[in-house]
Structure 1
Amino acid sequence: MALVTAAVVVLDCAEPEKLAQFYRKFLDGEDGEASANLVGIRTADGFRIAFRRDVNATPPSWPRPENSLQAHLDFLVEDLDEAERRVIALGGRPIETKDPAGPYEERGYADPAGHSFTLRLVPSSAPKQG
């Protein structure tokens, strides 16, 4: 029997209900566990994320060095433009505007509480035409 049966990413924030709503809509998720200080969601593929109330939470400042990166999430998407429109419509904001180095097309954002995350284009498995 496995010692660990599930993992949950937990982000601290001042208003967990609002942040859970942002991620629930962005990820097409559903409500998970909830208490006075913790709100969780889960997605159809089993990803679980929760938001813990911390009235003194300080948003990370990444990419600026002060208060640095506290946590970082990557989301694989099939359409960067569509995912970006959804993030912005839900209250997220772009934070990385330069072209990234490396083989993957990606864009950086912050959620409404200031946590950074990246949308990374899923590489196409279809053969190139031409």
Structure 2
Amino acid sequence: MYDIVIDCPDPGTLATFYQRLVGGEIVDPTPEWMTLRTPSGMRVSFQQVDHYSPPLWPGQEHPQQIHLDVMVTDLDESEPLVLALGATLLQGSPKNIGFRVYTDPAGHPFCLVTN
């Protein structure tokens, strides 16, 4: 697999959010497309889409289609950091079972997970 591409209204904002969340560098940016190369070498790209509609969780009116899991060592310590970056904790997200569900600034669900 070469790349994961995520639709969004503003590639720069979303690429910067994930760069701050997981590290790495943004490579070959254009206004319509940004690619984040993570410290592990994984590529995640962000593509501008006109008339973007964010997914809804847990409902399926606008299915999430894809989501990212980000490994952390402590959910309680990581939560304020991810919220400060612009994430939103979703209502109904579990608190004590090893993961929590958030949305990024474009509305895509992602999870913070622990071992």
- Size of the alignment, in residue pairs? 114
The counterpart of 1:17, out of the listed 12, 33, 43, is 12
The unaligned stretches of length 5 or more in structure 1 are 1-5, 123-130
Alignment of 1:116 onto 2:112: no
What is the CA–CA distance in structure 2 between the aligned matches of 1:106 and 1:117, rounded to whole Å? 10
Shift of 1:21: 0.9
Residue 57 (structure 1) aligns with? 52
The counterpart of 2:25, out of the listed 21, 27, 30, is 30
Moved more, 77-86 or 44-53: 77-86
Quick one: structure 1 residues 120 and 29, their matched pair in 2 at CA, closer, same or farther if it must change by over 3 Å?
same
What is the CA–CA distance in structure 1 between the aligned matches of 2:77 and 2:26, rounded to whole Å? 24
1:18 partner SS: helix
What is the identity, as a one-letter code, of the residue corresponding to 1:62? W
Please say which structure displays the higher CA radius of gyration.
Answer: 1
What is the identity, as a one-letter code, of the residue corresponding to 1:19? L
Residue 93 (structure 2) aligns with? 97
The unaligned stretches of length 5 or more in structure 2 are none
TM-score by length of 2: 0.88
